[in-house]
Amino acid sequence: MKSCLSQAADLCMLEMAIVYRKCFAEMGLLCQMREKFSTLCQLSIRKHLSTHGGQLRTFNTPLSGNDLPRCAGIASMMRLPVYKTADGLDACFVGVPLDSGTSNRSGARMGPRQIRAESVFIRPFNPTTGAAPFESLQVGDIGDVSFSIYNLPEAVKQIRKAYSEIVKNGCVPLTLGGDHTLSYPILQAIKDKYGPVCLIHIDAHSDTQDTMYGEQIAHGTPFRRAIEEGCLDCERSVQIGLRGTGYSIDDYKWVADQGIRVVLMEECWNKSLVPLMSEVNKKAGDRPVYISFDIDGLDPAYAPGTGTPEIAGLTTIQGLEIIRGCKGLNVKGADLVEVSPPYDPSGNTALLAANLLFELLCVVPGVKYHKT
């Protein structure tokens, strides 16, 4: 007869065997799941003949809701493949979850994550315009820029460095903000690569204050700094939708004195902006262009989830007209900023932002357009 100690040892070994068997079974299930997910990921790859020498290129395309439920999968922008760098990409989505430059309502740091979450509703084609960006461009999501959340000047330096890496090989960054401070270091990096750019700026505010609370870097100062550093081709730049109360009667005078065209919101009321964008497009010509879209440029009836809302703003339709009016321009980058999810529990502001980012992708040079 076995001793009590021996029986206990046998029982322990039996229990371990059961645990190991269960673990191996779970590992097998995990391998099956991983294989299935890998297969699903392959569905996000499509092949099309490129326009460069008729060579076959492989392009990413968003994972379809018919391939995997929209509530599932990796929460990248439009569920595109995720990359560590922009190498090999024609355009990329990149998040800058920054809101330490805000002056009142915070929450824009949550913007990139919420925009990505809502982007599952977007399909890869635009039947109205004929745009099919995933048939001609290699697009991916390269995640978020890492920066100090406690030191804003240092964060600006880190963002500039990150974007210098993104644009060095010609990739066009489409930025998910984040507060408007981030436009300053992005413009620095783009200027280093391409020289001064024509700015198309949609906003309720000019963001050209000299200082805020004595600080030169904040979400109300990015374009003042960019102008001072020669990042902008002011004579070919435009600000659209400016409105609301000001700190002085001459709030927009400094901007106009620099040569930037200021289109006040009152000039946009009750009209299509197609004629305006035709003028903007013609003036920019083939020069490098940067588009900065502050979600508060739209009326808060459409986009309540933002930090500094102003009444009587642009409609969603006018926002689309502005972006689509940039087709044919030499767009080198764009951002969609100031989405603050805590102020819109419905998620509709972030959904609108995700759609506008898709529209921005559709005006990147090289996008294939079908006849409609």
CATH number of 45-369: 3.40.800.10
Confidence (pLDDT) at 34: 46
92, HSE (Cβ side, Cα atoms, 13 Å): 25
Residue 39 binned pLDDT confidence (cut-offs 50, 70, 90): very low
Residue 372 binned pLDDT confidence (cut-offs 50, 70, 90): confident
The pLDDT of residue 14 is above 70: no
Residues 216-244 pLDDT 10s? 999 999 999 999 999 999 999 999 999 99
Confidence (pLDDT) at 16: 57
The pLDDT of residue 53 is above 50: no
Residues 128-163 pLDDT 10s? 999 999 999 999 999 999 999 999 999 999 999 999
